[in-house]
Each structure stands twice: as structure tokens, then as C-alpha cells.
Chains A and B, each alone.
Chain A
């Protein structure tokens, strides 16, 4: 690499500038092509391996849509029925495939409709690139028609954003966008492109971005801290692992499994980490958090060593921090230095990519089994089974439970389905009872808790893993937030299975009202339409189940179908999800009823 004596003139990273330099050299040989900015955007997407995007057209992005029309054979654009749907579809796609999801929208209202999806992707570390049109450069700041400061609006909810006002910036900025979205701790990037830049012509050459000088995506593992972690593991009597999505994002599933098995450490997951290790694995002890399993929560306060792997101690996981794992030494495996000591103070921080750090750790840990300690989890499970689980999945009462529906889906899909959940009671029940054999199979809105996530995310998930069964589990409330995306499922015959667990309530809020607001059900009773008729209106095969005797056969029929399928299950209206750690309480104060 040749290096000048001065850092780059422009505010982009040095290595980008290097690529620019290299590119200029290449351009001489490789012959650039003269194209419009709009066409350049398409070429950038193709160069990044994008063959599918979701979006919605409008004035300020029309030149790009005109090019999408010309490139239909290489690049599929799915017209969602709302821009929010485009973001969640892109997220669902990204989460099952590990690739960057792409969404596109026009300026003004199109751009602002992306905000929820951006915030969701930001807090759940989902790689996504959103492209928005913007009014022409000369109109910026003039309150032009459909001008919105989407850079200002999206700043707090993006990993990076940038406005392009001249076509010549397109290749570098797009390359940087994909690099930033995917590298390190992934996240959403928004690129806003003024209309003049879409029309202008440039000599186009593309070079992928391999680094940005001010950005260090993956900290180098420090062998000292890994050795110290190994020593703690080897001396621990009651070690305990809580893993999160970092294991999935780092593709460290095998390494985690090897560690658990070698050192005999019981391991629990956050909902974002679920499915990284098969449900059936004997050392997979279940779910932590507000509605997680009894043992994993209560024993957090009995372990002597807590290994937190790729998780960020969200308050829904920890409950009150003042009483969280105070007795334990804490080792935090994390890619993002800003997470260290943010919520829970770590005795040892192991920075780096989880795959890399776990690989380095593995040879240093001793074989062990910790049988007595593991038995404690089994005992607690028995308590939870007898008081909660049994009644959830094998109910004896008349009304249908959400848990038994999930159990039937497990049986019919042989635990092989991708489960996409919305937000509420059905989400917690699905996360608790769905069984998984494969990683990247539990797609849910964890950090933001975005109602309306599941239906569009299921579309994206199916398109990102066409060979897999995708089942969306949605509440009657959240379903109606993005119900219009049935149009996409119908139009493209996307064979997702949609299960609405209808309790005729905003169930999770109703549960809180029952427990903490003396059953004053303020605006949580839902007056619902005929969901089956609505699906029929979209020509989607649909069924309603109201009685237990019809459940098994209908779920089997749904899973056997190779077409889109809608199933409404009328469940008990006022069931509650337990166990529960009331908000602000300690994990030790988990309630079984």
C-alpha cells in the first residue's frame, strides 16, 4: 500500500480513501462505465451480493425505481404495503440468512415510516441498509414538498447514516454502508440520496470497503483475560453461562457447545440467543428474564461464576441490578466495549468476536461435569413443570392455551421451523415452549418489543430461507399493526404459515393491569374483525380453531401445506404468562403464579 504524507481530505475513512486511490488506478485499466447515479445504486447493490430488497416508491426515489424496473432479472424488489413492513421484512431476511437486509423508501413520509424498523434493528443489532430518496440538493432546507430531515431523525437509531448529494459519492458511501452494517456489532445504516444525485452521471467503478480508519469493528482478543477467564472456570464450583444473540451473530454456536460440554456448564439463553444450541441439549437449561424459566433465573443468584456470552444485561433479563448475581464473579464476553460495565460490572472482560474468543478459551478449560450443580436446575425445572408448564402445554381446562398451540407446532414441524414472533404474551409463550434444532430459528423483536414485527419479518425470513418452514406467531393486537402485508404474501404466494393466537385482548398489557392495576382493563379489550374473512379476502387459505379437538389436525394440515396458510386459534381470553419477575424486582423474586 502506498501512503501519502497526509490523512484523507474528506471525512471518510482512510482505508476508503486508499480504495479510492487504488480504484483510480484500477479505473484506468478496468474502464469505468458512464451511468446515472440511480443506476450506480443498482450496481452497488449487485456488487454487494444483494438480489432482493423491500420498499415503496415515491417522487424522490423514482429514478432508482426506474432502474429497478430495468434490472428486474437480477434484483427482485418486493413492494411491501407500508415502509415499516419493508424494514421488518429486511430484518427477518437478515436474521435467518446472516446477510444484510435492504429496504428502500421515498423522502418525507416514506422515510419516517422506516424509523421503527431502524430502531428495532439498532437495538437488536441487525445488519440492514436503508436507502431513502431526498429532495434535490438545491431544495434542501427549504421545506420543500416531502422534505424531511431523515438524517437528523434517524441519527439516534442508526449505527451510521449519511446523505449523498452528488453522484460521485455513491460508490464509496454505499460500500461503506454495507461494511458498517455487517461488521463488528451489526446494525442499521441509512443512506439518504438527493434526487439530483440520482440523475447525475458518473464514471462508475466499485470497490468493496474493507475498513474505516476511525472504526475498529472487532477488538483484538487479549490472551491475558482469556487465561484469567479459564482459571475462574477451572476453579468454579457452580459456573453458569447466559448467552445472547452475540453467539448467533458471531456464528459461535459450535464453540459454545464445545465449551458447555467440555466444562460441564449449565447454559441459559436470552430470547435473542435462543436456538443457538438445540433445545434438547442436556446442558441447555432454558430461558432467562422476566418470563424465563424458574431455575435459570433463581440460580443466577446462586452460581459462583457467571459467564455472559454475547449478551448485554438488558433490564428485562436482569431485573433489579442491585440484587443481580452479586455473589458471583462475572466474565463478560463481548464485541462492543461500550457494553462492558454498562449494567453489570465484570470481573473480567473478554473483548472480541465470540467465535474467536471461545476458540481460544476452549483448550484452557478443564473437563468437568458439575453434576450436583446441574441437578439443581433439574429440581427447579420440576417445580416449574408441576406448577406452570404442565398446565400450559397439557391443559385440563376447557379453553385453549397458547402453550398447547406452540407444542402442536413443535410436533408437526419436528422442531425444524423458523418461529417468528410478534410482541406480547404469545411471544413469551412461543419463546418459552418452541423447540429448536437449528440456529437462527427464533426471530423476534427483543430489545424494542415492536408490535407489528412478525408478519413482515416472517415474509423476509421465508425469502431468506426458502427451504425452511417459517411459522409466524402473532397476537390479535400486533397482527393488526401490519396486517396489510398479507398483500405481499398473496401477491408473491410466499408460503409462510401465520398463526394468530387470538385472546381478544392486548394480553400482555391486560396481564399487567390485572396484576398491578387492580384489573382496570383500560383500552386492552380488543373488538376484532373476522380474521379468517380478511385472509380470505387476500385469497389465503384460512382456518379458525376454537376447540381442542380440532387443533392437532389443523396444525398438521397447516404445516403440510406448501402454500401460505392462515390459522386463527381462539385461546383463553384472560390467561397469564408465568413465571414472572415483576418489573424492578430481583431474579430471586420470580413468581410462579
Chain B
């Protein structure tokens, strides 16, 4: 079976030790976590882990099974890129002087649909959300001018189809 990108969504109770438990499952099979995001979910007090890996579907399914059996995990799913709407965010910190001296930077900002988050005497910060390749593209364009700092977030994703979990979580909410 061929490796591909999978987005694993884990709905869980908030628990300090759970991240360790979940990451251990990937560690055992030597699967690199390409991106990890933890946030609250649509249900109060239920957390959502969004984990991106590159693996075969067979291994992904087994890993999701192992994750789901952890006591605090309510439900875990995996999806291919086609089945999800997903994004990442990035911040670029760039010397302020360039904003005025380099006309091209202004074009990059306009064309990339990014926002200027802040401008100070020494630097300005650009925020960009989008697919990984869009952010990579922008990075490539800005690189020649000098990037003072760069950071990219983990992937966040929602599925195109309804998650089976919705009903389950609603039940929880009623409790």
C-alpha cells in the first residue's frame, strides 16, 4: 500500500497526560507526526487533536484504532486530503525598511492575500493562511529579501462530510 497524507482527528476529554499517550502510539511505529494542533472542539470541554501523518492507510487505520481505545479518547477518525478542508497559518517577520524600499514586497502582500499584523520602526509582521504549498510559495518569494523570523502552525481541518461524532457529542452535551 502506498503512503499518503492523512489527517487524524481525535476528540477527547481534556487531560494532561493524553498527548503523551497518543504520541507514544506514533513513536512505537516510527511514524513522524508532520503537524499537530490541539484546540477546543465544537463541544465545550471536549478537545480536538488534529494530527497529520504520511503513512499507508493500513497503518493509519491501526494507529487510529490504538488511539481510540485510550480511555479519555471519545472518538478518532482519519481522512484523506480530498475529504477535508484544511489550512495552516504562518507569520513572517521582515525588516520595516524593505516595506518602503522594495516595491515587489508590496506586490507579494497583495497577491498572496496576506495581512500585515503589525508595523513598527524595525520590523513588520505578515500573516498568511492557506495550504502548505501556498505558504511555501510565499516563503520562497520573500526569502531573497531576508526573513527575520518565520513560523508556521499545524494543520487545522474540518471534514467535508458530517462527522459521525456529532450525534455522540450532542448526547454528551445533554448530560
Binding site for B on A (CB under 8 A): 3-9, 11-14, 18, 151-152, 155-156, 159-163, 180, 212-215, 336-338, 340-342
With A151-B17, A155-B17 as given contacts, are A160 and B46 in contact (CB-CB < 8 Å)?
no
In whole Å, how far is A396's beta carbon from the nearest beta carbon of chain B? Answer: 49
1/0 contact trace for B33-46 toward A, CB 8 Å?
Answer: 00000000001111
With A9-B45, A156-B28, A214-B72 as given contacts, are A3 and B175 in contact (CB-CB < 8 Å)?
yes
A-B contacts besides A155-B17, A155-B20, A155-B24, 8 pairs, CB < 8 Å? A5-B173, A5-B174, A7-B172, A13-B13, A156-B24, A213-B175, A338-B62, A342-B65
B45 pairs with A7, CB closer than 8 A: yes
What chain B residues lie within 8 Å of A155 (beta carbons)? 17, 20-21, 24
What chain B residues lie within 8 Å of A337 (beta carbons)? 65, 68-69
With A3-B175, A156-B24 as given contacts, are A212 and B71 in contact (CB-CB < 8 Å)?
yes
With A6-B44, A6-B173 as given contacts, are A338 and B65 in contact (CB-CB < 8 Å)?
yes
A213 pairs with B46, CB closer than 8 A: no
In whole Å, how far is A244's beta carbon from the nearest beta carbon of chain B? Answer: 18
Does B74 interact with chain A (Cβ within 8 Å)?
yes
Does B14 interact with chain A (Cβ within 8 Å)?
yes
Q: A12 — nearest CB in chain B belongs to which residue?
A: B13
What chain B residues lie within 8 Å of A152 (beta carbons)? 20
Does B66 interact with chain A (Cβ within 8 Å)?
yes
Does B164 interact with chain A (Cβ within 8 Å)?
no
Interface residues of B in 67-83 (CB under 8 A from A): 68-69, 71-74
A7 pairs with B14, CB closer than 8 A: no
In whole Å, how far is B25's beta carbon from the nearest beta carbon of chain A? Answer: 9
In whole Å, how far is A527's beta carbon from the nearest beta carbon of chain B? Answer: 38
Does B113 interact with chain A (Cβ within 8 Å)?
no
What chain A residues lie within 8 Å of B7 (beta carbons)? none
Q: B64 — nearest CB in chain A belongs to which residue?
A: A338
With A11-B13, A11-B14 as given contacts, are A214 and B71 in contact (CB-CB < 8 Å)?
yes
Complex formed: what's the CA distance from A338 to B62 in Å? Answer: 7
What chain B residues lie within 8 Å of A9 (beta carbons)? 45
Complex formed: what's the CA distance from A8 to B68 in Å? Answer: 20
B45 pairs with A214, CB closer than 8 A: no
Q: A184 — nearest CB in chain B belongs to which residue?
A: B69
* Interface majority SS (helix, strand, loop, mixed), chain B: mixed
* 26 contacting pairs across A/B (C-beta < 8 A): A3-B175, A5-B173, A5-B174, A6-B173, A7-B43, A7-B175, A8-B45, A11-B15, A14-B172, A151-B17, A152-B20, A155-B17, A156-B21, A156-B24, A160-B71, A212-B71, A213-B172, A214-B12, A214-B13, A214-B71, A214-B74, A337-B65, A337-B68, A338-B62, A338-B66, A338-B68
What chain B residues lie within 8 Å of A160 (beta carbons)? 71
In whole Å, how far is B42's beta carbon from the nearest beta carbon of chain A? Answer: 12
B175 pairs with A14, CB closer than 8 A: yes
Complex formed: what's the CA distance from A176 to B61 in Å? Answer: 29
What chain A residues lie within 8 Å of B174 (beta carbons)? 3, 5
What chain A residues lie within 8 Å of B45 (beta carbons)? 6-9
B17 pairs with A161, CB closer than 8 A: yes
What chain B residues lie within 8 Å of A163 (beta carbons)? 17
Complex formed: what's the CA distance from A161 to B65 in Å? Answer: 19
A180 pairs with B43, CB closer than 8 A: no
B69 pairs with A336, CB closer than 8 A: yes
Complex formed: what's the CA distance from A14 to B62 in Å? Answer: 27
Q: B58 — nearest CB in chain A belongs to which residue?
A: A341
Partner pick for A162 among B17, B62, B69, CB 8 A cutoff? B17
Complex formed: what's the CA distance from A215 to B74 in Å? Answer: 7
Partner pick for B44 among A7, A14, A161, CB 8 A cutoff? A7
In whole Å, how far is B50's beta carbon from the nearest beta carbon of chain A? Answer: 18
B71 pairs with A159, CB closer than 8 A: yes
Q: A215 — nearest CB in chain B belongs to which residue?
A: B71
What chain A residues lie within 8 Å of B44 (beta carbons)? 6-7
In whole Å, how far is A32's beta carbon from the nearest beta carbon of chain B? Answer: 25
What chain B residues lie within 8 Å of A342 (beta carbons)? 62, 65
Q: B13 — nearest CB in chain A belongs to which residue?
A: A11
In whole Å, how far is B147's beta carbon from the nearest beta carbon of chain A? Answer: 36
A338 pairs with B175, CB closer than 8 A: no
Q: A340 — nearest CB in chain B belongs to which residue?
A: B65
Complex formed: what's the CA distance from A7 to B24 in Å? Answer: 28
What chain B residues lie within 8 Å of A161 (beta carbons)? 17
1/0 contact trace for B100-129 toward A, CB 8 Å?
Answer: 000000000000000000000000000000
In whole Å, how far is A352's beta carbon from the nearest beta carbon of chain B? Answer: 15
1/0 contact trace for B135-160 toward A, CB 8 Å?
Answer: 00000000000000000000000000
What chain B residues lie within 8 Å of A18 (beta carbons)? 175
In whole Å, how far is A154's beta carbon from the nearest beta carbon of chain B? Answer: 10
In whole Å, how far is B169's beta carbon from the nearest beta carbon of chain A? Answer: 9
Complex formed: what's the CA distance from A9 to B46 in Å? Answer: 10
Complex formed: what's the CA distance from A8 to B43 in Å? Answer: 11
What chain A residues lie within 8 Å of B69 (beta carbons)? 336-338
In whole Å, how far is B26's beta carbon from the nearest beta carbon of chain A? Answer: 12
Complex formed: what's the CA distance from A18 to B24 in Å? Answer: 31
Interface residues of B in 85-104 (CB under 8 A from A): none
What chain B residues lie within 8 Å of A215 (beta carbons)? 71-72
Complex formed: what's the CA distance from A9 to B15 in Å? Answer: 11
Nearest 7 Cβ contacts at the A-B interface: A338-B65, A214-B74, A11-B15, A11-B13, A11-B14, A160-B71, A14-B175
In whole Å, how far is A379's beta carbon from the nearest beta carbon of chain B? Answer: 38
What chain B residues lie within 8 Å of A3 (beta carbons)? 174-175
In whole Å, how far is A443's beta carbon from the nearest beta carbon of chain B? Answer: 25
Q: B11 — nearest CB in chain A belongs to which residue?
A: A214
Complex formed: what's the CA distance from A155 to B70 in Å? Answer: 11
Taking each of A151, A214, A341, which has the highest tally of chain B beta carbons within 10 Å of its own beta carbon?
Answer: A214
Complex formed: what's the CA distance from A39 to B69 in Å? Answer: 33
In whole Å, how far is A190's beta carbon from the nearest beta carbon of chain B? Answer: 11
What chain A residues lie within 8 Å of B15 (beta carbons)? 11
Q: B43 — nearest CB in chain A belongs to which residue?
A: A7
Q: B61 — nearest CB in chain A belongs to which residue?
A: A341
Complex formed: what's the CA distance from A200 to B43 in Å? Answer: 35
Complex formed: what's the CA distance from A14 to B46 in Å? Answer: 12
What chain B residues lie within 8 Å of A214 (beta carbons)? 12-13, 71-74
In whole Å, how far is A472's beta carbon from the nearest beta carbon of chain B? Answer: 33
In whole Å, how far is B162's beta carbon from the nearest beta carbon of chain A? Answer: 20
What chain A residues lie within 8 Å of B73 (beta carbons)? 214
In whole Å, how far is B55's beta carbon from the nearest beta carbon of chain A? Answer: 15
